[in-house]
Amino acid sequence: LEARPPADLPAHATVELGTRLEHEHERALEALTAEDVVAMATRDLAQAAERTADWTFERDDFAGLEPSLRRIYHRGRKRMRTARADPNAENLHDCHKRVKDLWHVAQLLHPADPKRMKRLSRRAHELADVLGDHHDLSVLRDYVEVHPHHFEDEPTRDALLAAIDRRREVLGRRALKRGGDIYKRRPKRFVADIERGWRKRVQAG
């Protein structure tokens, strides 16, 4: 909104708000650094990478992954269907969490079917970005509503809220369209397609 403000949004509308948000962001980063949260997360991720380093497709059968894969896809498909019926901020945020699960699955299964998983990973990541932007705007809207004193006058705040709502509507429609494409197959078919690629990869050695 600040980089490409709508024509009816005053140029100064986001200046003070942006400054305050930057200050709050800096304080949050300082708190994370003080608690050494980043270091702990980095250590945990490194340990997880070590545990998965020797995973192979030849040693373990696909049946070990099938239930979790089906569940992850089914949950995402169900959340997307709910959001299509009622595209509110909460439902779309649920979709965001579930499509990120699918994105990580595609990354993990890339060796099983590189071409298919690369395409799925890209599409899931793109959808996650759209849904993430929608969620960020929803959080921003809540912040603007509870901090009216950050604005010179009510018309300026109302103009910003209207701009946020318009942008969220665009992102919501885009997310539902992309989500419909990703989740158009039934879970059984989705899993079967991945298993077929897995089998070919294992047989090829």
Instruction: Per residue of the chain (205 residues), give pLDDT as tens.
Output: 555 556 666 666 667 677 778 888 888 777 767 667 777 888 888 887 787 766 665 555 788 788 999 999 999 999 999 999 999 999 999 999 999 999 999 998 888 888 999 999 999 999 999 999 999 999 999 999 988 887 778 888 888 899 999 999 999 999 999 999 999 999 999 999 998 888 887 777 6
Here the tokens at position 177 are 């369209």
CA dihedral 197, 110, 122, 88 (to 10 degrees): 90
- Name the DSSP letter for residue 185: S
pLDDT of residue 41: 81
Angstrom distance (rounded) from CA 24 to CA 15: 15
CA dihedral 137, 21, 155, 133 (to 10 degrees): -10
22's CB contacts (< 8 A; 6+ apart) are none
* Rounded CA Rg of the chain: 21
Angstrom distance (rounded) from CA 12 to CA 124: 36
Here the tokens at position 204 are 């090829």
- Name the DSSP letter for residue 153: S
Here the tokens at position 6 are 């709508």
- Name the DSSP letter for residue 87: -
Q: What is the H or E stretch that residue 180 is in?
A: helix 154-182
Q: Is 30 left (phi over 0), alpha (psi -120 to 50) or beta?
A: alpha
pLDDT of residue 12: 66
pLDDT of residue 154: 87
pLDDT of residue 9: 67
193's CB contacts (< 8 A; 6+ apart) are 116, 185
